[in-house]
Copies of this chain bind each other. A is one copy, B any other.
Amino acid sequence: MKQWLKETLDDLNLVDDMASAQGFTRLSYTAEEDDSIAVFKRKAEELGLSIREDEAGNVIASWEGSKPDLPTVASGSHLDTVVNGGGYDGVAGVLTALGAIKQLKDDGFTPEHSLEVIVFRSEESARFGVSTVGSKAMTGLLDESIGDVRDLENVTVKEAVQACGYNWSEFAKAERGPNDFKSFVELHIEQGTQIEDNGYDVGVVNGIATPIRLKVKAQGKAGHTGTTPMDKRNDAFVAIAPLVPYVQSFTKQLNEEQKTPVVATVSTVDLSPNVMNVIPDTVEIGIDIRSVDDDLKKRVADAIRGYVAKLEETSTTQFEIQELVNNTSILLDKDLRELLVQLGEDLDLQPLVMDSGAGHDVMNMSTKWPSGLLFIPCRDGLSHHPDEYATLDDLEKGVQMLATYYKNMSQSE
């Protein structure tokens, strides 16, 4: 199995060797994503699966069960990446699902429910700023207006999918019915270090922490850096800067008082005019707040609002807070989670029940079908980076988890 995993990992990443200084760039609906999908199709066919593509370009590799009218048991993930990303984010889930099928085939197993391995298109937001396009289409969550969103080269989603041979106006047809799936489980690299830090083997996810995102704008007054005296300034950067360490220290403190983790980050800044000889006029910062506990997210957002009000009181700078995103966090299916923990323990693995700080295709699938999310460790928690790495041992544990999941769920009660 390890040899097959290694070869298939290389092949899906379109390389002979995973050590790549630049990492991997397979943006949504590009020829590079197509190339990786073509490898997937070939690998799935080699395992005897039948292939179909839906209207959104999602690829579905099926193993027909002995009772093909029963709802399908599915797994899957994505093959697109960010710019100079890693070769495991997404690929790990596709690879281990294929590996699980291979193991069941090798064992001579016969499913009653049909099994599927799904490759979702366009999970990453790196190209269009919109994530999980393929799984949104499959669950009927796709907002049609996304078609007009443009990438940095001014290509719309509509044009990009057309160039890959799809038709945006047909995307809605990719939606599948409420009874199509018995369950869906995605495997993903953890993108954190909780499993490793706590001495476990795999993660079984309870909830997915979706963000509150705030944009805080400070409006000061420009002026020449050389001619404006220090006591006559309204420098927007000076006014807003204390908020950056505050977000960190407040949220760190809150974690010490709470069991459920909550994280908050000032991750973006846009300063105008951003030239050496002009005092900053306008500064906008972006804040990303996440927890599976929506109340904790709200507490951080409220604290930020309170702190900004104080900054405004003590300066001549004007502030404005905009809430960009506020999504209710997602709890995955309890029965499926408990089953995955049990199945893991039966394999003599130590599963850690944990939350996910990042979103994945399973978020969409879980709105319609019982869904679960498995994590395998990745080195140093590093992801979206050329050095992203998961061991073959951990990938093999992932194969075992998905094989036992497929096997267990494919039996009709």
Binding site for B on A (CB under 8 A): 190-194, 209, 211, 213, 222-233, 235, 237-238, 241-242, 244-245, 247-248, 251-252, 255, 261, 263-269, 271, 274-280, 286, 288, 290, 356-359, 381-385
Report chain B residues within 8 Å CB of A209. 226
Contact status B280-A255, CB under 8 Å: no
One of B224, B232, B242 near A245 (C-beta < 8 A): B242
Query: Roughly how many angstroms separate A381 CA and B228 CA in the complex, as a whole number?
Result: 8
Report chain B residues within 8 Å CB of A245. 238, 241-242
Sample of 5 further A-B pairs with CB below 8 A, known A222-B384, A229-B263, A276-B288: A225-B267, A226-B357, A230-B255, A237-B266, A267-B275
Report chain B residues within 8 Å CB of A241. 241-242, 244-245
Query: Roughly how many angstroms separate A279 CA and B191 CA in the complex, as a whole number?
Result: 13
Max chain B C-beta neighbours (<10 A), residue from A192, A238, A265, A275: A265
- Distance in Å from the Cβ of A176 to the closest Cβ of chain B? 28
- Distance in Å from the Cβ of A302 to the closest Cβ of chain B? 18
One of B193, B228, B233, B288 near A225 (C-beta < 8 A): B288
Contact status B226-A358, CB under 8 Å: yes
Report chain B residues within 8 Å CB of A244. 237-238, 241
Contact status B269-A274, CB under 8 Å: yes
Report chain B residues within 8 Å CB of A247. 238
Contact status B276-A213, CB under 8 Å: yes
Max chain B C-beta neighbours (<10 A), residue from A192, A238, A242, A267: A267
Query: Roughly how many angstroms separate A226 CA and B251 CA in the complex, as a whole number?
Result: 13
Known: A223-B381, A274-B268. A230 touches B251 (CB 8 A): yes
Q: Which residue of B lies closest to A247 (CB)?
A: B238
Report chain B residues within 8 Å CB of A191. 224, 226-227
Q: Which residue of B lies closest to A244 (CB)?
A: B241
- Distance in Å from the Cβ of A222 to the closest Cβ of chain B? 7
Q: Which residue of B lies closest to A266 (CB)?
A: B237
